[in-house]
Amino acid sequence: MHAPLAVIGGGPGGYAAAFLAADLGVDVVLVDAAPRLGGTCLLHGCIPSKALLHVARVLSEVEELGQDWGVVFGQPAIDLAGVRARKDKVVGTLAGGLQQLAKRRGVRVVCAHARFQDANTLQLEGDSDSIPTGGAMTFDHAIIATGSAPIVPEPLRTASQRVMDSEEALRLERIPDSLLVVGGGYIGLELGTVYARLGSRVTIVEMADRLLPAVDSDLVKHLQRRLGKLVEDRLCLNTRVLEMVDRAAGVEVTLQDSASQRVEEFDAVLVAVGRRAVTQHLGLEKTRVQLDSLGFIQCDRQQRTAEPHILAVGDVAGEPMLAHKAAHQARTAIDVIQGKPTEFDKRAIPAVIFTDPEIAWAGLTEQQAAAANRRVESALFPWAASGRAQATGRTDGLTKWLIDPDSNQLVGCGIVGVGAGELISEAVLAIEMGCEVADVSHSVHPHPTLSETLMNAAEVFSGTALEIYKPRRR
């Protein structure tokens, strides 16, 4: 079998590339080892976790209504099978939709493991009827979009069924009485929130001195304060897991912080310390495709590898490992294959952590600016001064712009608070268009809304904010 374009991986980067190419009349074969399209994001990550986080959020709101608003409900009863069924229904609906879209576009989907025999041939392995006779497929162009997988460091590897990675945790087979979350990154915090709201006694350990070390500290502190209350101050920073031993009653974990070493027992453990690119067993050694020191496929700004007719998009092509980045890189890759002079060149790729409160950012962060020795000025608007935040009782938020002081251009934005992920897109547009801070401050925003905090923060920069006092800039 021959295909003008072979796409390896059916996640957001892979199916986007296949669909875009098919819409242009290209004969596409999409190869994925899973029986359903969607990749990690849809099947084992972004979508099921957000479905569960919705449940957690509603439970939190019900509790707060009883505590602060005089509206008292009965104690919620968790039907775990019902929660799991709803999550699976969401995933199934979206995955089924992708399958239908592939069919309508004429994309041939092959359920198989793909391995390069050489730079122009794939060997397709598996037992699906979709695999061609002999299992070999040649191609003119190939796009690698195999995504990423959870990392489990050697000291944390065990055969115990009580130790989970993120994909296993999302199956929601049970709610453990006590859960240790290893890792204070976004995956550990999101899933830790879910399990805590569903009834687990959650403990979070993080090697660094704060949660989310890559995120600006003024955003993280709002989350850390609220999360600390949810887990009853069982946030263990500057703490390492030295050993885990499966016992009859639970997992015995040896923890070490700066002061001492201790042993605690947990009903279950979630290991969420990062992800790695899925490049093993692809046969890349049979090609000139190169990996960097972290295991990501090396690409140029056109997503081309050292084999110019083989491209890579998404997680496998490096940080940031985000579904929306993968989809946009897929657009670049298809344009390049079509001979268009294009590059993947984005000023602002938004990232969102769907905790409570959410954290979102785009463009430059203060940490990145400091590392690059780049001078920026920040303009912050606390949500305590927001009428909308006060009206909903969620003032634990902050909107921040980073501004180039020489040009007054917006170069970065960070938001923490309820719905931050829905607010960040305005910032992405402003940064990509090269807007100056006055472009946002002079744009009329509706009141009372949280979106106007973007305008308010811009007004803080010029000293024209009404809700807080800061002297006008001269």
The β-bridge relationship of strands 178-182 and 268-271 is: parallel
**Of 281, 309, 442, 447, which is the active-site residue?**
447
Whether the CB-CB separation of 183 and 272 falls below 8 Å is answered with yes
The answer to whether the bond into 357 is cis (omega within 30° of 0) is yes
447 assigned to active site: yes
Whether the CB-CB separation of 411 and 216 falls below 8 Å is answered with no
Q: What is the dihedral of CA 322, 325, 331, 335, to 10 degrees?
A: -120
3-class secondary structure for the chain? CEEEEEEECCCHHHHHHHHHHHHCCCCEEEEECCCCCCHHHHHHCHHHHHHHHHHHHHHHHHHHHHHHCCCCCCCCCCCHHHHHHHHHHHHHHHHHHHHHHHHHHCCEEEECEEEEEECCEEEEECCCCCCCCCCEEEEEEEEECCCEEECCCHHHCCCCCCEECHHHHCCCCCCCCEEEEECCCHHHHHHHHHHHHCCCEEEEECCCCCCCCCCCHHHHHHHHHHHHHHCCCCEECCCEEEEEEECCCCEEEEEECCCCEEEEEECEEEECCCEEECCCCCCHHHCCCCECCCCCECCCCCCECCCCCEEECHHHHCCCCCHHHHHHHHHHHHHHHCCCCCCCCCCCCCEEECCCCEEEEEECCHHHHHHCCCCCEEEEEEHHHCHHHHHHCCCCCEEEEEECCCCCEEEEEEEEECCHHHHHHHHHHHHHCCCEHHHHHCCCCCCCCCCHHHHHHHHHHHCCCCCCCCCCCC
Phi, psi of 131 (to 5 degrees): -75, 130
**Residues designated as active site:** 447
